[in-house]
Amino acid sequence: MDLFSEGNTVYVIDTSGLIMLESTFKKDNPVFAAIWEEIEDLIKQGCFKTIDFVEQEINDYEGKEDFLKKWVKKWKKHLVVDTDAASFNEAIPIINAEYNTGFLNARKQAEGKEEADPYLIGYCKVHNYTLIASESKIKNNKIPAVSERNGVRCIDINDFLIERGLRMERKK
């Protein structure tokens, strides 16, 4: 774990987590301002990150929604980390073990493109970080199950909000 974050949980978010975050808790909606303030404060503290492969997945998105592209670009210096050699090495057995399970995207494999998921899990395993992903917790070939098999703590956005003590309160 990094010295500056000793004792603090460091969260690493997947593309699915970013998409869920943005689609459910729109940044321009004042009701959700505290969520985005918390995340951006965590980014500044080095406690909320993603890897370069996730940045690439966000940038490759061709839909009309461009908020995440702009937001990731704005915070890139503190948010996006390059996947290090140790994480690559940790991802290799994950890729080998999950090659035929449906965990890896067949289209990306056919196109010779890397995908973020095994590298995210490898990165979190090497650094003992918590992975945030919004994928099915019951399917055996999704990030939560593969993370669990590899000793990586994986939570979803709702778990993250609860862990950080974020909630909406009604005015009385």
Q: Do 53 and 83 contact (CB within 8 A), yes or no?
A: yes
Taking the mean position of all CA atoms in its chain, how far away is CA 110? 24
What pLDDT is attached to residue 7?
58
- Which candidate, 140, 96, 91, 145, places its Cα nearest to that of 120? 91
Distance of alpha carbon 62 from alpha carbon 69, whole angstroms: 10
Q: Do 42 and 48 contact (CB within 8 A), yes or no?
A: yes
User: Residue ranges per domain, the chain?
Assistant: 3-163
Distance of alpha carbon 131 from alpha carbon 95, whole angstroms: 17
Pick 124 or 168 by higher pLDDT.
124
pLDDT exceeds cutoff 50 at 1: no
Q: Does domain 3-163 have CATH number 1.10.10.10?
A: no
What global pTM score does this model have? 0.91
CA angle 6–8–12, rounded 5-degree value: 110
Pick 126 or 168 by higher pLDDT.
126
CA angle 36–41–46, rounded 5-degree value: 125
Calculate the average pLDDT of the chain: 91
Please write the tens of the pLDDT for every residue from 30-89.
Answer: 999 999 999 999 999 999 999 999 999 999 987 778 899 999 999 999 999 999 999 999
**How many Cβ atoms are within 10 Å of 126's Cβ, its own excluded?**
18
157 three-class SS: helix
Q: Do 143 and 100 contact (CB within 8 A), yes or no?
A: no
Q: What single-letter DSSP state applies at residue 133?
A: -
DSSP-derived secondary structure for 37-87: HHHHHHHHTT-EEEEHHHHHHHHH--SS--HHHHHHHHHHHHHEEPPPHHH
Long-range contacts of 32-39 (CB under 8 A, 24+ apart): 34/166, 35/161, 35/166, 38/164, 38/166
